[in-house]
């Protein structure tokens, strides 16, 4: 887990501007890791608070003139959905990885565990089958991160960078809009707190 954290993409923002026809460009310097088009990036403000999650559309070198090996290179990331009102000089964009607490099963407090890939996929399919048109998660892409052995509740990440607990009914079909019961969470810290405090 430490190696993954060390390799996580970190990008220090120097400027944010808009190019007509291209969208928002975030210019800055790569401090560690690598990025490519399609990667999910989380805004981390200078005070440590977390912001929105965006998707990198493309990566461009902003200034190559006079560059020599070893010199810092200003890189431009095309990131729709981010604006100068959201980010400022000194903020960071960090590679969005699954919540660190579920990276290794030993890090999860009992009765939580990290399901294997096939089990996680099956749980995700069941959640998608139960979530009907009126449900608050309808139309949202979700990824199963963890499951509680005691009650079967699952912890999921959502496509907006937030998290939720979902209590499956195993109906295998769309439920009334209030089911499956869902508890929306915020960012990483909220998920970790909720998992640690989860009781039956």
Q: What is the pLDDT of residues 1-12, one digit of tens each?
A: 444 455 678 899
- Cα 154 off chain centre by: 17
pLDDT in tens, 115-161: 887 888 899 999 999 999 999 999 888 888 889 998 989 998 887 77
Residue 134's nearest CA partner among 182, 171, 178 is 178
The contacts found for 16-24 with CB under 8 angstroms, 24 or more apart, are: 16/82, 16/83, 16/84, 16/86, 16/87, 16/88, 17/84, 18/83, 22/78, 23/57, 23/78, 23/79, 23/80, 24/78, 24/79, 24/80, 24/81, 24/82, 24/83
Does 35 share its domain with 86?
A: yes
pLDDT given for residue 184 in this prediction: 93
pLDDT in tens, 63-85: 555 545 555 567 889 888 787 78
Domain encompassing residue 144:
100-197
Does 104 share its domain with 175?
A: yes
Of 95, 123, 142, the position where a domain reaches its end is 95
Does 9 share its domain with 91?
A: yes
Express as a percent the part of the chain with pLDDT over 90: 18
């Amino acid at each position: 887990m430490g190696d993954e954290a060390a390799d996580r993409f970190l990008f220090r923002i120097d400027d944010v501007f808009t190019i007509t026809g291209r969208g928002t460009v975030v210019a800055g310097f790569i401090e560690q890791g690598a990025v490519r088009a399609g990667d999910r990036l989380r805004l981390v403000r200078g005070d440590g608070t977390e912001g929105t999650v965006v998707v990198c559309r493309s990566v461009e070198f902003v200034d190559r003139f006079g560059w020599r090996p070893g010199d810092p290179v200003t890189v431009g990331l095309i990131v729709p959905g981010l604006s100068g009102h959201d980010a400022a000089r000194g903020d960071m964009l960090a590679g969005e990885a699954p919540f660190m607490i579920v990276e290794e099963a030993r890090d999860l407090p009992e009765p939580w565990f990290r399901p294997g890939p096939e089990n996680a996929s099956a749980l995700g399919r069941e959640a998608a089958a139960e979530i009907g048109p009126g449900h608050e998660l309808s139309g949202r892409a979700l990824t199963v991160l963890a499951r509680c052995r005691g009650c079967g509740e699952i912890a999921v990440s959502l496509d907006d960078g937030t998290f939720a607990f979902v209590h499956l009914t195993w109906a295998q079909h769309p439920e009334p809009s209030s089911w499956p019961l869902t508890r929306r969470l915020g960012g990483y810290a909220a998920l970790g707190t909720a998992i640690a405090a989860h009781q039956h």
